[in-house]
Amino acid sequence: MKFSNDKVSDIQIAYIGGGSMYWAKNLIADLALDHQLSGTIRLYDLDFEKARKNEKLGNSVSDYPETKSKWTYKAYPTLQEALSGSDFVFISILPGTFQEMDSDVHEPEKYGIYQAVGDTIGPGGLVRALRTIPMYVEIAQAIEKFSPDAWVFNYTNPMTLCTQTLFEVFPKIKALGCCHEVFGTQGVLIRMLRDLKGIEDVHRDQVKVNVLGINHFTWIDQATYQNMDLIPLYRQFVDKYFESGFENNKDAWVTNPYTSANRVKFDLFRRYGVIAAAGDRHLAEFMPPWYLKDPDTVRSWKFGLTTVQSRIEKHAATKLFYEKLISGEEKLPLKPSGEEEVRQLKGLIGLHEFVTNVNVPNVGQMKGIPLGAVVETNAVFSANSLRPVYAGELPVEVNNLVLRHVLNQETTLKAAINKDKSLAFKAFVNDPLVNIDVIQAEELFETMLQNTKSYLPGWNT
C-alpha cells in the first residue's frame, strides 16, 4: 500500500467467491464511491469465467462520471495467485447449489420442522456447516501459506462456524466476521425515535449500542441517542406495536419472504428485557419452535418462510439484470450498500478509528461464554488493530439460550473437522428446532447427509 496525505493507493484485496452476482456488485459500488482508497481487487472463484465477468463489470465502473476512485479488477485462475501479495482477503462463497439448499430447508418440513432461513442453525444450518467447513479449512490453509499477514473478512453463513474454522486452522489469522443484522435493529431504533419523539434525520452512528451474543442471535442491553436511554422508550414502542408489528412498508412481510413485522423481536424483549438484535427470520430459528411450529404460527408472527423456490426466482431475476450489466445494456447503480467493508478497511489501514460490531473469538469481552468461542460484540478498528470492546454479560436466562448454541456449534465444528458422523448427529438432535422423536431425527439426519454427500469427502455416509 502507498500513502499520500489522506489517500491510500495500491491496496491489494483478494476476493474469494469473486464470481458472485450479489455481494460483488455492492463491493464494486461501495469502493467506487470512496475517494480515499484505490488498488486492485484480485478475483478468485471456482468458476473462473464468473470471476472474469466481475473483472469486466468492475473495470467498467472506472469510466462512470460519478466514480471517485480507481480500482483495477483482475480474475485469477488459482487461489495462490489471488492471495499472494494481498493486504486484505474477502470471503463470500455459496456452499452448494439450490439442490442442497432445498434439502437443507425443505426436507425437515416432512417431519414438521420449519425454518425461516436454514443457513445458520437448525437442521439446515448444521448440514450447510458440515459442507462449508471443509472449504474453509482449505481457505485458511491457503491464507496461512500465501498471505499470512492479510486481514480476512468473512461474509459467508453460517458466519460463526466459518469464522471459527479460520481460527481453528490458522490460530494467528487476523480475521473477522461481518454481518449487517445489528444495523437493521439500529434502523428500528431510529424509526422509533421518529415515531415516539418526532426526532428526524438520526444517523446510525448516533445510536450507540452494546452488542452481545453470537451471529444472528445478538442482543443489545444498552442503547442511547445523545445520552438518552433508549431501553425505556423501546418498551413503550414494543407495547404500542406488539400486536400490529412495525414495518417500513405496512404488510410488506406478506409478499416479501425476506422481511418481517418485528413481532418476534418484540416478543423476545417482553420475555427477557433486552433487545434482540437480528431479523425475526433468524431469531425464530434459535428458539424452540414457538414461532416456527407450523406455517400458520409463522404467519401469526408476521414473517415468512423463505422457500428455495423464492430464492431460485430471485436468482433468475438477478442473473437477468447481471447479464445486462455485463453486456453494457444497463449501468450498475452507484449507491451505498449499507455494508461497512469500506469503513472497516479505512479503519485497519489507519485513516480513522471507529467502533462497530464484528464476529471474533472471545478473549474476555463477553462473560458467560467460553474463551475462544466466536462471539459478536463491538470492537475498535484502528491502524492494523482490531480490539474487542468489553461487552459484559447477558442476563443468565438469555445467556443460557446463547450458550446452548455456542456449545452445539463447537460440537459441529469438531464433527466436521474429524468427519465424525456420530458427533454430528449429537449436535443435530440437540438443536431446539429438532423437536421430534429421536428415531425420526436419525432418519432425517441420514437423508440430509445423503443429499449433501458429494460435499463430504472422507465421510462414512
Active-site residue set? 180
Q: Are 62 and 71 in contact (CB under 8 A)?
A: yes
Distances (CA, A) of 431 to 151, 181, 404, 411: 33, 22, 9, 11
For residue 379, what are the β-bridge partners? 356, 388
Task: Give the C-alpha distances (Å, rounded to integers) separating 105 from 23, 126, 128, 169, 451.
Answer: 22, 11, 10, 29, 12
Q: Which residue has the cell 459478536?
A: 376
- Three-point CA angle 310, 132, 322, nearest 5°: 45
Distance in angstroms (rounded) separating the CA atoms of residues 407 and 424? 12
**Cβ atoms of residues 163 and 177 within 8 Å:** yes
Measured at the CA of 72, the angle between CA 69 and CA 76, to 5 degrees, comes to 155
Length of the chain in residues, anyone?
461
User: Cell triple for residue 461?
Assistant: 455416509
| Amino acid making up residue 5 | N
What distance in Å separates the CA atoms of residue 353 and residue 380, rounded to the nearest whole number?
Answer: 7
> What is the C-alpha to C-alpha distance for residues 134 and 312, in angstroms, rounded to an integer?
25
H or E segment to which residue 245 belongs? none
Give the Cα separation of 157 and 224 in Å (integer). 30
- CB-based contacts of 430, cutoff 8 Å, min separation 6: 404, 408, 411
The burial of 396, by beta-carbon neighbours within 10 Å (0-12 exposed, 13-18 middle, 19 or more buried), is given as: exposed
- Residue 429: partners with Cβ closer than 8 Å, 6 or more residues away: 438, 441, 445
